[in-house]
Amino acid sequence: MIFEHLDKYGHEQVVFCHNKDTGLKAIIAIHNTVLGPALGGTRMWPYKSEQEALNDVLRLSRGMTYKNAVAGLNIGGGKAVIIGDPASDKSEALFRSFGQFVESLGGRYITAEDVGIDVNDMEFVYRETEYVTGVHQVHGGSGDPSPFTAYGTLQGLMASLNKKFGDEEVGKYSYAVQGLGHVGIEFVKLLKERGAKIFVTDINKDRVDRAVSEYGAEAVGLDEIYDVDADVYSPCALGGTVNEETLPRLKAKIICGAANNQLATNEIGDEVEKRGMLYAPDYAVNAGGVMNVSLEIDGYNRERAMRMMRTIYHNLTRIFEISERDGIPTYMAADRLAEERIQIIGKLKLPL
């Protein structure tokens, strides 16, 4: 049954990690190492079953292959999950025993933080293996990736404006930004610096107040964000917000934001295209975080990281070209770009 799964998604290796003394139950999935070592975060989550954990790690690790390939990195895709409750099951021993498993793979898998894991947990992993990114800055880590993700999102936006309107003048257009967390507020700041009209919403009132007072944004209700008259809808909070209910309400010509998994389904992606809206594929737009962390592998350099963010503009432009060339929606074109890059560089065929 497991091998069927691996065949379906094309995984190279899946490692089940168990240490009964520390209580560790983890799965490391290496999806593809054609472009380089598999990089992807470790998620800690109280999965209801081992099957659920396996499904998640297989899906997420495959996603990392695509994300890293589209980002133009010489890095493959992988991910790990630790089965456990981040609120009650964390310990030094648990993370150190996990680090030993990462080390045992000899660099085929490089880990990072993901949901449920923070920089302190990574310190313990780092004691057992150097194949860790996202450690504290004193160990050569890159620190908070959010400003990079926001700047990368701006690059993706400029490519989208150019494609849709034929210019890149960010300040000429209006924006509906949903979510003012680490990335969202930085993105609003960048928009404001360019003179844009910005509508914002967040469940956290303090964040909304800050966007209004510091960046002159106009606050709208949580549900109202789908109805405002803005040129660009920018999801920077949750996934799945472009769906059957919201799409008919959106007046925007472009969807471009940092949130993961913005399209509720592929069919919605097709519908976006039919309506003549331009969707900037999320994982290409929000690659700033992974680009930033990837630079830790060869020794982190902030200036190089900032330069690298600008490549997101070109990646998006390439995706739009493939979409036109092949007559396919942009979400599909992003996957195609990843597959073409892996095939050309690694001469390896991934299942479509």
**One-letter amino acid for residue 170 of the chain:** V
Q: Which of 79, 90, 164, 192 is catalytic?
A: 79
Residues whose CB is less than 8 angstroms from the CB of residue 171 and which lie 6 or more positions away in sequence, other chains included: 194, 195, 196
Considering beta carbons, is residue 79 or 108 the nearer one to ligand NAD? Answer: 79
Considering beta carbons, is residue 96 or 207 the nearer one to ligand NAD? Answer: 207
Sign of CA pseudo-dihedral 208, 209, 210, 213 = positive
Q: Closest approach of Cβ 305 to ligand NAD, in Å? A: 12
Considering beta carbons, is residue 129 or 292 the nearer one to ligand NAD? Answer: 292
> How many CB atoms are closer than 10 A to CB 55?
14
Binding site for ligand NAD (CB under 6 A): 145-146, 149, 178-184, 201-204, 207, 222, 236-238, 258-260, 286, 289
Considering beta carbons, is residue 283 or 320 the nearer one to ligand NAD? Answer: 283
Q: Closest approach of Cβ 100 to ligand NAD, in Å? A: 28
Considering beta carbons, is residue 293 or 297 the nearer one to ligand NAD? Answer: 293
Closest residue to ligand NAD in the complex (CB): 181
Considering beta carbons, is residue 203 or 345 the nearer one to ligand NAD? Answer: 203
> Which residue in the block uniquely carries the two structure tokens 């996990």?
98
CB 228 within 8 A of CB 249: no
Q: Closest approach of Cβ 241 to ligand NAD, in Å? A: 8
Whether residue 192 lies in the annotated active site: no
Three-class secondary structure assignment of the chain: CHHHHHHHHCCCEEEEEEECCCCEEEEEEEEECCCCCEECCEEEECCCCHHHHHHHHHHHHHHHHHHHHHCCCCCEEEEEEEECCCCCCCCHHHHHHHHHHHHHCCCCEEECECCCCCHHHHHHHHHHCCCECCCCHHHCCCCCCHHHHHHHHHHHHHHHHHHHHCCCCHHHCEEEEECCCHHHHHHHHHHHHCCCEEEEECCCHHHHHHHHHHHCCEECCCCHHHCCCCCEEEECCCCCCECCCCHHHCCCCEECCCCCCCECCHHHHHHHHHCCCEECCHHHHCCHHHHHHHCCCCCCCHHHHHHHHCHHHHHHHHHHHHHHHHCCCHHHHHHHHHHHHHHHHHCCCCCC
Phi, psi at residue 268, to the nearest 5°?
A: -65, -35
Q: Closest approach of Cβ 259 to ligand NAD, in Å? A: 4
Residues labelled catalytic: 79
